[in-house]
Structure 1
Amino acid sequence: MAASQAFTVGKASLALKDLDALVAPAKKEAGIPASALPMHVKGPFDGKINSIYRLTYDAGAGCPVTFIFRARISEAFRYEAIVKEKILFPILDGTINLHAGTGLRSQVEQLLAARTGSHVFSANKPPAVPVQSLYHYDETCKRIPHLYSVMGFLPGISLYEYIDARGVKHKKLADIPAPVARVLQAAFTDVGEAMAKIHAIEFPAFYNSITDIGDDAKAVNWKQLFAARTEQLMDEATRWPAIKPYLVDFRRYFKDSMALIPEHDVPVLFHNDFQPQNFIVDEMSGKVAGFIDFDNWQVGVREQEFVKMQYWGLRDLDPAFEQAFLAGYRKHHAIGKDFLARVDVYKSSWFLLVYNFEMSKIAKNEANITVDKRFPAAEKYIEEIKRIVNG
């Protein structure tokens, strides 16, 4: 590669040697010589939140090692200003014991205090579902004005891309070639089971932030927390003239629907972006290889996870694929009669959140470098809210 090539990270422009220097601790962790420069750099893959590059090094004996460099560049990011995988990954492989009386709070505090570090999974201690290792993270914002991480690379393509390439959206099952249908049904069963395994990880309590995990004084009532968050979203939405006329009906719907939300629920690990863009599959076979993009994870309830899965993952597909997904999930968790009704309540709140988020970005003139066709214009979310509220 040309040493003079420039790489954009947010508003910064980095030379190849500068980008390599940011990845240097990950190279050391993976046993790559410090002097080695990347053979290939792909990117930036810019989304709404992060600037991402894929760097491939020669680890010797013709064995390439690929890292994913991710810097959080968005000023509109709503979540904690930390690399959240540094807490999550020790939970996924059991390094952190979530049971009471195990020193949970002190373990979380130690991780919060560490502004740089890593968490590399081992074959003897694998994560609950296949994910990338965290080879390095840096929250100091000293080397670049953004916190960043360097992850391992899961080869393959997203299930979203696999589906798109085979043109199965808006088609009936009978019109899809049988081999493709079988592969996709198997994939959706696998991701349903993976979601269930994620939800098998239970916390001692609900918390407003993952930084509070293990702090008994900051444990919260879930129903009250969810109601307060949605009330805040409704108040925020009054800033936007286009949605204002519908907020009276939304408030009525939300007040009536809160009866569906139990006073006490089970606090589980909530991926918070569980949808086909974040499922990696083999490009040829379609077999699920792993899961990515946990950087918005929270402590939540099971129904929340179905919101994006339904909206971005299943709504344009034949119902047989949703049934396959639910079959995988039901291997580990039951789905009660009010479950899907509660999903709609959480979905209405999420539509309001993303509407506010999109409008806030417009107000701040924070444009995406790359427009992602999965994300509709802000007005589309108003239509979804109206559909739920009006039954």
Structure 2
Amino acid sequence: MTSSDTLSALVAPVGRLTGFERLTGGMFATTYRVTLEDGSRVVVKTAPTDLDRLLTYELDLLRTEALVYELAHERPELLMPTVLHTDYTRTVLPSDVLVVSHLPGTPMLDAGLGADDPRTERLERDLGAYLAHQHTLTGTRFGYPNAETGLQADAWPEAFSLIVEALLADAARWGTALPDDEIRAALRRHAGALAHVTTPVLVHTDLWPGNLFVDPATGELLGVIDTERAMWGDPLLDLVGIDPMWHGVSPRVLAGYGATSGAAWDVEEPDAAARLLLYRLLMALIMKVETAPRAYEGDWVADFVARYEENLARALTALA
């Protein structure tokens, strides 16, 4: 638990702390909502300090989050917080610190939106439109923005292979058994489909309901947070980030995307369908591999692991 004095020091370049509360829901960073003397609120995020428990791709993730927010700063349609202060010195705390503006709205998880709710229909179309805007941001190389991870390449098949191989190595380090040979065979079999992606676009990868802020009255999408896992890659990856449990992506998301981008998103086309399965495989790998280093506890863990084991098997079967 970070003390009041420590938080006061962290937000001092922005304002004087008068109150704070720890926010729950995330499983990586520690996050606080801080009230300043002028009545405004900011969000303070601190990275994990036990670096031995990080997966390879998780190195300096808060710096990636700050980078993406900075890229979005002149793009209000991207609905992201403003970076107010960063501290990478690791002197106040033994971790990176990010201070950002507080977004309006309510987390989708807490907004009470039902599956057939008209507000949900509005949100899904807004989310598709949001993705169309986000995917206009392009990079120079594929993979994770932090070059120190070593997970970058000039071509998408090579970058994707590096990302998967890093997860397999992380799994071995933590004693997590995986069907490595089947996974590598799937990547080789569908490298041609990955090669069709020639422009590295900004992909959030983690657009689950906890990272979306909405107007609970209308369902309007008001904000997007937690870009720490963003990468330069295939836009289709974001469809898996929206639907990490593999329930199925809403056609309203696809419609909102097409209406804004001016191009239909054909996820049934064979190469696109193969890539989506590879990204389902990637999501299942991440979720399964992170379980050991995170030392998850609770009644939910068994079902969580079983679901992603099932999804991994399902993806491998389809890719074969």
* Common fold: TM-score over 0.5: yes
In structure 2, how many angstroms separate the alpha carbons of the residues matched to 1:323 and 1:265? 25
In structure 1, how many angstroms separate the alpha carbons of the residues matched to 2:164 and 2:154? 15
* Bigger radius of gyration: 1
Q: Which moved more, 1:181-190 or 1:330-339?
A: 330-339
> For residues 346 and 73 of structure 1, do their structure 2 counterparts lie closer, same or farther at Cα, with a shift above 3 Å needed?
same
Cross-structure match for 2:130 = 194
Q: Alignment RMSD, CA only?
A: 2.9
1:383 aligns with 2:310: yes
1:344 aligns with 2:277: yes
Amino acid at match of 1:67: V
1:73 aligns with 2:48: yes
In structure 1, how many angstroms separate the alpha carbons of the residues matched to 2:101 and 2:303? 30
Q: 1:189: how far off? A: 0.3
2:27 equivalent among 5, 25, 48: 48
CA contact (8 A) 2:104 2:223 kept: no
2:256 equivalent among 284, 303, 328: 328
In structure 2, how many angstroms separate the alpha carbons of the residues matched to 1:198 and 1:240? 35
CA contact (8 A) 2:204 2:229 kept: yes
In structure 1, how many angstroms separate the alpha carbons of the residues matched to 2:25 and 2:221? 24
Cross-structure match for 1:127 = 76
CA contact (8 A) 2:20 2:32 kept: yes
Please, what TM-score do these two structures have when normalized by structure 1? 0.69
Percent sequence identity is 21
CA contact (8 A) 1:80 1:209 kept: no
CA contact (8 A) 2:145 2:232 kept: yes
Q: What residue ranges of structure 1 are gaps of 5+ in the alignment?
A: 1-7, 28-33, 94-124, 169-175
Cross-structure match for 2:145 = 210
1:156 aligns with 2:144: no
Residues 257-296 of structure 1: matches in 2 within 5 Å? 257-262=190-195, 265-296=198-229
Amino acid at match of 2:233: G
> For residues 57 and 90 of structure 1, do their structure 2 counterparts lie closer, same or farther at Cα, with a shift above 3 Å needed?
closer
Cross-structure match for 1:83 = 63
> For residues 253 and 288 of structure 1, do their structure 2 counterparts lie closer, same or farther at Cα, with a shift above 3 Å needed?
same
The superposition leaves residues 103-140 of structure 1 with CA deviations (integer Å, 9 ceiling, x where unpaired) of xxxxxxxxxxxxxxxxxxxxxx4434111111111010
3-state secondary structure, aligned to 2:244 = helix
Cross-structure match for 1:142 = 91
3-state secondary structure, aligned to 2:285 = helix
Amino acid at match of 2:255: A
Q: 1:330: how far off? A: 1.3
In structure 2, how many angstroms separate the alpha carbons of the residues matched to 1:282 and 1:231? 40
> For residues 143 and 361 of structure 1, do their structure 2 counterparts lie closer, same or farther at Cα, with a shift above 3 Å needed?
same
Q: Which moved more, 1:380-389 or 1:136-145?
A: 380-389
In structure 1, how many angstroms separate the alpha carbons of the residues matched to 2:72 and 2:301? 29
The superposition leaves residues 146-196 of structure 1 with CA deviations (integer Å, 9 ceiling, x where unpaired) of 21111111132222332xx3453xxxxxxx4xxxx2211111000111011
Q: 1:284: how far off? A: 2.8
CA contact (8 A) 1:89 1:127 kept: no
> For residues 167 and 91 of structure 1, do their structure 2 counterparts lie closer, same or farther at Cα, with a shift above 3 Å needed?
closer
CA contact (8 A) 1:157 1:280 kept: yes
In structure 1, how many angstroms separate the alpha carbons of the residues matched to 2:210 and 2:77? 20
In structure 2, how many angstroms separate the alpha carbons of the residues matched to 1:137 and 1:225? 28
The superposition leaves residues 211-242 of structure 1 with CA deviations (integer Å, 9 ceiling, x where unpaired) of 459xxxx8522211212332343354456777
CA contact (8 A) 2:72 2:80 kept: no
Q: How many residues align?
A: 305
> For residues 233 and 69 of structure 1, do their structure 2 counterparts lie closer, same or farther at Cα, with a shift above 3 Å needed?
closer
CA contact (8 A) 2:65 2:226 kept: no
1:24 equivalent among 5, 9, 12: 12
Please, what TM-score do these two structures have when normalized by structure 2? 0.83
1:254 equivalent among 179, 187, 194: 187
In structure 2, how many angstroms separate the alpha carbons of the residues matched to 1:355 and 1:221? 26
Amino acid at match of 1:210: P
> For residues 264 and 52 of structure 1, do their structure 2 counterparts lie closer, same or farther at Cα, with a shift above 3 Å needed?
closer
The superposition leaves residues 41-87 of structure 1 with CA deviations (integer Å, 9 ceiling, x where unpaired) of 2215363211111112342xxxx311111111253333342522443
Q: 1:360: how far off? A: 3.0
3-state secondary structure, aligned to 2:94 = coil
Q: 1:389: how far off? A: 1.4
Q: What residue ranges of structure 2 are gaps of 5+ in the alignment?
A: none
3-state secondary structure, aligned to 1:210 = coil
3-state secondary structure, aligned to 1:48 = coil
Q: Which moved more, 1:74-83 or 1:340-349?
A: 74-83
